Amino acid sequence: MAEKANYDVVILGTGPAGLQAAIHAARKKASVLVLGKETKSSLFHAHVENFCCLFNVSGEDMLDVGRQQVANFGAQMLEEDVLKVGFEGSLFKVDTESGQELDCKTLIIATGTARNKLGVAGEKEYLGRGVSYCVECDANFYKGEEVAVVGGASAAVSGALTLLGYARTVHLVCGELEVTDALKDQLQKSAVIVHEKAKVKEIVGQTSVEAISLGDGTKLEVSGVFIELGAKGIMELATHLGVRLDDEMKYIDTNKKMETNIPGVFAAGDICGPPWQMAKAVGEGCVAGIGAATYAKKMAKGSS
């Protein structure tokens, strides 16, 4: 059997949090491996205009530059998903989809969150071209446009109300409203057009979103569709290690150093909770990368 590869830091996730963590860990002369597939990052399909010092760039281009930076600083990247993580003595053991087994002194979880999908035709095809999962991220792109928000919980209603400050017309498509009376009252007093007991059948367009078709045959001509059905954290890997989640059991609980309750395990980015902003993810990745490299060095010296 081939000898296992051993790293100071293994990072799960190739989005902005994971790449920034890799850059800073590698700069501290740690051996670093980043695991994951670039296309799974929510940034891959995004268009960025609100990140300081950059203007109107694609998420895909930003990730490409980030990967080059990671390589320039000596970190390695492996485009594979992780199947399992566990303990092996004082080290962490990571199993990848190809059957590789890796050991590491520290682990950074930066996998992001998997947004709940509608599962209708056009959703995947128009992602980044009219379909969005984040009002806070993309509202500014729809100034003066007609848009729809899909969902009936507080995130959807709050998103629809937020969009009133940008869009010309805002539709809320929901099966049933599941919000507090106060939020429902706010919605009823607003200009949001509510389609209750409705279901999206299809998202249609040519090169970008042009309309959505509802189950009853209604067609809403919109240029943007915000799917706000909540986010499901990719938590199985973390909880298998005993990593503590927040009070709502949605996100990983960390301190200001991005440390979890498990020594040597750090987390950064969307998996730590909102806001869903690249600037936050990058900052947390920086902190986690520095912390993980420092922890690994202490382990190597036997002082941890």
Give residue-wise pLDDT tens across range 92-109: 999 887 888 999 999 999
User: Domain limits at 257?
Assistant: 5-114+231-300
Q: For position 38, what pLDDT does the model report?
A: 80
Q: For position 42, what pLDDT does the model report?
A: 75
Strand pairing partners for 202? 121, 213
Single residue among 227, 247, 272 that ends a domain in this structure: 227
- Helix 16-27 × helix 59-72 angle, to 10°: 20
Single residue among 175, 192, 227 that ends a domain in this structure: 227
CA-closest candidate to residue 17, choices 298, 257, 287: 287
Query: At residue 237, does pLDDT exceed 90?
Result: no
Q: Are residues 133 and 279 in the same domain?
A: no
Q: What is the mean pLDDT of residues 213-236?
A: 86
Q: What is the mean pLDDT of residues 13-17?
A: 95
Tell me the pairing of strands 265-267 and 101-109. Answer: parallel
Query: At residue 231, does pLDDT exceed 70?
Result: no
Q: Are residues 168 and 157 in the same domain?
A: yes
Q: Are residues 186 and 142 in the same domain?
A: yes
Q: Which residues contact 83 (CB under 8 A, 6 or more apart)?
A: 95, 96, 97
Q: For position 96, what pLDDT does the model report?
A: 86
In whole angstroms, what is the distance from residue 216 CA to residue 7 CA? 56
In whole angstroms, what is the distance from residue 269 CA to residue 273 CA? 7
The H or E element containing residue 214 is: strand 209-214
Q: How many CA atoms lie within 13 A of 281 on its CB side?
A: 26
Q: Are residues 100 and 24 in the same domain?
A: yes
Q: What is the mean pLDDT of residues 77-86?
A: 88
Confidence of residue 84 (pLDDT cuts 50, 70, 90): confident
- Helix 278-300 × helix 16-27 angle, to 10°: 40
- Specify the number of domains making up the chain: 2
What is the longest distance spanned by two Cα atoms in the chain?
A: 68
Please provide the distance, in angstroms rounded to a whole number, between the alpha carbons at the two ends of the chain: 31
The DSSP code for 143 is T
Do residues 267 and 243 make contact, with C-beta atoms less than 8 angstroms apart? yes
Q: Which tens digits make up the pLDDT trace of 39-53?
A: 777 788 787 888 888
| Residue 275 preceded by cis peptide, ω within 30 | yes
Strand pairing partners for 209? 205
Q: Which tens digits make up the pLDDT trace of 151-188?
A: 998 789 989 999 999 999 999 999 989 888 888 999 99
Q: For position 304, what pLDDT does the model report?
A: 45
Residue 22, SS3? helix
The H or E element containing residue 135 is: helix 135-138
For 215-254, b where at least 16 C-beta lie within 10 A, e where not — what string?
Answer: eeeeebebbbbbbbbebebbbebbeebebebeeeebbbeb
In whole angstroms, what is the distance from residue 195 CA to residue 185 CA? 16
Q: What is the mean pLDDT of residues 25-52?
A: 87
* Most confident listed range (132-141, 179-188, 189-198, 237-246): 189-198
- What's the angle, vertex CA 33, arms to CA 5 and CA 279, rounded to 5? 165
Mean pLDDT of the chain: 91
Confidence of residue 234 (pLDDT cuts 50, 70, 90): low
Q: What is the mean pLDDT of residues 250-269?
A: 96
Do residues 209 and 203 make contact, with C-beta atoms less than 8 angstroms apart? yes
Query: At residue 272, does pLDDT exceed 80?
Result: yes
Q: Are residues 122 and 195 in the same domain?
A: yes
Q: What is the mean pLDDT of residues 216-231?
A: 92
Query: At residue 111, does pLDDT exceed 80?
Result: yes
Q: Are residues 144 and 194 in the same domain?
A: yes
- What's the CATH code of the domain at 14? 3.50.50.60
Q: Are residues 109 and 10 in the same domain?
A: yes
Q: Are residues 89 and 121 in the same domain?
A: no
Q: What is the mean pLDDT of residues 267-275?
A: 94
Query: At residue 236, does pLDDT exceed 80?
Result: no
Q: What is the mean pLDDT of residues 115-120?
A: 88
